[in-house]
């Protein structure tokens, strides 16, 4: 079964929304820049199999860079279980419903019911879950499906919500544990370090003559300095080291604050001294 017969090549080219969507694939790996973590997809695929009794061998994932989902071959009995581009989700759903292609699609929770032409023809499974996609975007995510044939058009699924939230937290914790911490020599400065200075009340200033821009150090191999950096001369490196020591001292120190009562006592002391000195 194919959808391409519904729209000619010229019509495809004239479809500005779809063209804009395809343009996003020039530098990113998947649709609408949101790559689904495999662990999240597997959880959803297991859910679909368990709930609807569909074998995973019948699943299709047609949403890939530089490919048009409308030109894919859809075998009889297939079911699209995938994360589509959210920007044209209503159009995708309508195409699948009109072509009789079953689907279970990821969808943004906040606009889940926005497709007027389709919302009465499929079920919307609302989850209290946010998925962290591979590009770092954390999106409240639910699902829309044609698989419920009992007339249900809207439901909540607490169990799926908890499963998704739990898996997402596990993945984020694992990613943080795997993230290496880089310590650069005093001769290197980058925006994150200066941000740390600002957060710990440490002024810092650098003159253009004291540095040159760099993207990495030779020792880093294929890795780069996130956001780029600056290589400092000897004097500037010493100033950078001094700023880091000052910020570290402030970060380590616990500075207690006076309460309203204590501030009133200070004010009373000041008033007494003022009266005595008149």
CA distance 170 to 42: 14
Task: Please say if the pLDDT value at position 29 is more than 50.
Answer: no
pLDDT of residue 113: 83
Q: Which residues pair with 237 in a beta bridge?
A: none
Tell me, what's the pLDDT at 172? 86
What pLDDT does residue 5 have?
A: 45
Over range 224-233, report the average pLDDT.
90
* Rounded distance between C-alpha atoms, residue 126 and residue 109, angstroms: 7
Q: pLDDT at residue 118 above 70?
A: no
- What pTM does this model have? 0.58
Residue 135 pLDDT exceeds 90: no
- Mean pLDDT over all residues of the chain? 85
For residue 175, count other CB atoms closer than 10 A to its CB: 11
DSSP string of 139-205, one letter each residue: EEEEEEES---SS--EEE-HHHHHHHHHHHHHHHHHHHHHPPPP---TTEE-HHHHHHHHHTT----
Alpha carbon of 9 to those of 5, 6, 16: distances in Å? 9, 10, 13
Instruction: Report the pLDDT value the prediction gives residue 10, as an integer from 0 to 100.
Output: 46
Whether the predicted pLDDT of 211 surpasses 90: yes
* pLDDT at 126 exceeding the cut of 50: yes
Return the pLDDT at 44.
96
3-state DSSP assignment of residue 219: helix
Mean pLDDT value of segment 52-64: 94
- Greater confidence (40 vs 28) lies with 40
Residue 158 confidence (pLDDT):
95
Query: What is the token pair recorded at 186?
Result: 């005093």
User: What does the DSSP 8-state code read for residue 37?
Assistant: P
For range 113-125, the mean pLDDT? 80
Residue ranges of alpha helices (H) inside the chain are 9-14, 16-23, 38-52, 89-99, 158-178, 191-199, 234-252, 260-277
pLDDT of 54 > 70? The answer is yes
What integer pLDDT is reported at residue 104 of this predicted model? 97
d(CA 44, CA 211) in angstroms, rounded, equals 51
Q: Tell me: pLDDT of 150 over 60.
A: yes
């Amino acid at each position: 079964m194919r959808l391409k017969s519904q729209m000619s090549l010229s019509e495809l080219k004239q479809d500005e929304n779809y063209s804009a969507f395809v343009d996003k694939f020039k530098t990113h790996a998947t649709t609408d820049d949101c790559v689904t973590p495999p662990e999240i997809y597997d959880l959803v695929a297991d859910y679909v199999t368990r709930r609807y009794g569909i074998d995973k061998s019948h699943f299709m994932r047609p949403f890939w860079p530089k490919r048009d989902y409308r030109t894919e071959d859809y075998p009889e009995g297939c079911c699209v279980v995938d994360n589509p581009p959210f920007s044209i989700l209503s159009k995708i759903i309508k195409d699948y419903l009109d072509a009789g292609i079953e689907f279970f699609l990821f969808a943004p929770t906040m606009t889940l019911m926005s497709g007027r032409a389709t919302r009465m023809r499929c079920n919307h499974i609302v989850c209290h879950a946010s998925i962290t996609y591979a590009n770092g975007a954390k999106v409240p995510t639910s699902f829309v499906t044609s698989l419920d044939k009992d007339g249900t058009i809207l439901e909540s699924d607490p169990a799926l919500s908890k499963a998704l939230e739990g898996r997402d937290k596990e993945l984020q914790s694992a990613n943080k544990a795997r993230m290496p911490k880089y310590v650069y020599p005093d001769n290197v400065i980058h925006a994150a370090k200066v941000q740390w200075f600002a957060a710990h009340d440490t002024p810092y200033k650098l003159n253009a003559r004291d540095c040159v821009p760099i993207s990495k150090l030779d020792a880093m191999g294929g890795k780069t300095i996130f956001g780029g950096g600056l290589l400092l001369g000897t004097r500037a490196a010493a100033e950078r080291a001094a700023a880091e020591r000052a910020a570290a001292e402030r970060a380590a120190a616990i500075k207690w604050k006076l309460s309203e009562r204590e501030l009133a006592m200070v004010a009373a002391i000041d008033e007494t001294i003022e009266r005595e000195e008149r």
